[in-house]
Amino acid sequence: MLDQKLDPNYRGGDAKTDVFGSDAMLQAAPVEKIPAGSTTEQIAYQMVKDETFAQTQPRLNLATFVTTYMDEYATKLMNEAININYVDETEYPRIAVMCQKCINIMANLWNTPETNKWKAGALAIGSSEACMLGGLAALKRWKARRKQAGKPYDKPNLVMSTGYQVVWEKFCNFWDVEMRLVPLTTEHPTLDVEAAIKLCNENTICVVPIQGVTWTGLNDDVEALDAALDKYNAATGNEVCIHIDAATGGFILPFLDPDKKWDFRLKWVLSISTSGHKFGLVYPGLGWVVWKDKKYLPEDMSFTVDYLGAEVTQVGLNYSRPAAQILGQYYQFIRLGFEGYKNVQYNSLMIARYLDRQVSAMEAFEPYAPVELPNPIFVWRMKPSFQATAKWTLYDLQDKLAQKGWMVPAYAMPANIEQMVVMRVLCKQGFSRDMADMLIADIQFAVNELNKLEYPTPTRIAMEKNLPLKTKSFNHTGK
Tell me which residues in 158-177 interact with ligand PLP (CB under 6 A). Answer: 165, 167
Are 285 and 129 within 8 A, CB to CB?
A: no
Smallest separation (angstroms) from ligand PLP to the CB of 97: 24
Smallest separation (angstroms) from ligand PLP to the CB of 315: 16
Smallest separation (angstroms) from ligand PLP to the CB of 444: 28
Nearer to ligand PLP, 284 or 456 (CB): 284
Among 22, 61, 161, 275, binds ligand PLP (CB under 6 A): 275
Smallest separation (angstroms) from ligand PLP to the CB of 450: 29
Among 254, 287, 367, 409, binds ligand PLP (CB under 6 A): 287
Smallest separation (angstroms) from ligand PLP to the CB of 85: 20
Integer Rg of the chain from CA? 25
Smallest separation (angstroms) from ligand PLP to the CB of 284: 7
Task: For residue 316, state whether it binds ligand PLP (rule: CB under 6 A).
Answer: no
Nearer to ligand PLP, 286 or 450 (CB): 286
Smallest separation (angstroms) from ligand PLP to the CB of 172: 14
CA distance 207 to 56: 37
Q: Interior CA angle at 186 toward 183 and 191, to 5°?
A: 40
Nearer to ligand PLP, 332 or 358 (CB): 332
Nearer to ligand PLP, 104 or 214 (CB): 214
Smallest separation (angstroms) from ligand PLP to the CB of 163: 8
Residue of minimal Cβ distance to ligand PLP = 126
Nearer to ligand PLP, 127 or 313 (CB): 127
Tell me which residues in 394-433 interact with ligand PLP (CB under 6 A). Answer: none
Task: For residue 210, state whether it binds ligand PLP (rule: CB under 6 A).
Answer: yes
Smallest separation (angstroms) from ligand PLP to the CB of 188: 18
Give 201's contacts (C-beta < 8 A, 6+ positions apart): 157, 238
Tell me which residues in 236-255 interact with ligand PLP (CB under 6 A). Answer: 245, 247-248
Nearer to ligand PLP, 46 or 345 (CB): 345
Please name the amino acid found at residue 476: H
Q: Pairing between strand 269-275 and 241-245?
A: parallel
Nearer to ligand PLP, 43 or 290 (CB): 290
Binding mask 52-91 for ligand PLP (x = CB under 6 A): -------------x--------------------------
Among 67, 214, 313, 398, binds ligand PLP (CB under 6 A): 214
Nearer to ligand PLP, 278 or 460 (CB): 278
Nearer to ligand PLP, 102 or 210 (CB): 210
Tell me which residues in 119-138 interact with ligand PLP (CB under 6 A). Answer: 126-128, 131
Q: How many residues line the site for ligand PLP (CB under 6 A)?
A: 15
CA distance 390 to 424: 20
Tell me which residues in 335-354 interact with ligand PLP (CB under 6 A). Answer: none
Task: For residue 262, state whether it binds ligand PLP (rule: CB under 6 A).
Answer: no
CA distance 66 to 286: 10
Smallest separation (angstroms) from ligand PLP to the CB of 425: 14
Nearer to ligand PLP, 209 or 367 (CB): 209
Smallest separation (angstroms) from ligand PLP to the CB of 311: 27
Nearer to ligand PLP, 253 or 447 (CB): 253
SS3 string of the chain? CHHHHHCCCCCCCHHHCCHHHCCHHHCCCCCCCCCCCCCCHHHHHHHHHHHCCCCCCHHHECCCCCCCCCCHHHHHHHHHCCCCECCCCCCCHHHHHHHHHHHHHHHHHCCCCCCCCCCCEEEECCHHHHHHHHHHHHHHHHHHHHHHCCCCCCCCEEEEECCCCHHHHHHHHHCCCEEEEECCCCCCCCCCHHHHHHHCCCCEEEECCEECCCCCCCECCHHHHHHHHHHHHHHHCCCCEEEEECCCHHHCHHHHCCCCCCCCCCCCEEEEEEECCCCCCCCCCCEEEEECCHHHCCHHHCEEEEECCEEEEECCCCCCCECHHHHHHHHHHHHHHHHHHHHHHHHHHHHHHHHHHHHHCCCCEEECCCCCCCCCEEEEEECHHHHCCCCCCHHHHHHHHHHCCCECCEEECCCCCCCCEEEEEECCCCCCHHHHHHHHHHHHHHHHHHHCCCCCCHHHHHHHCCCCCCCCCCCCCCC
CA atoms 367, 247, 83, 36: torsion sign: negative
Smallest separation (angstroms) from ligand PLP to the CB of 131: 6
Contact residues toward ligand PLP (CB under 6 A) are 65, 126-128, 131, 165, 167, 210, 214, 245, 247-248, 275, 287, 478
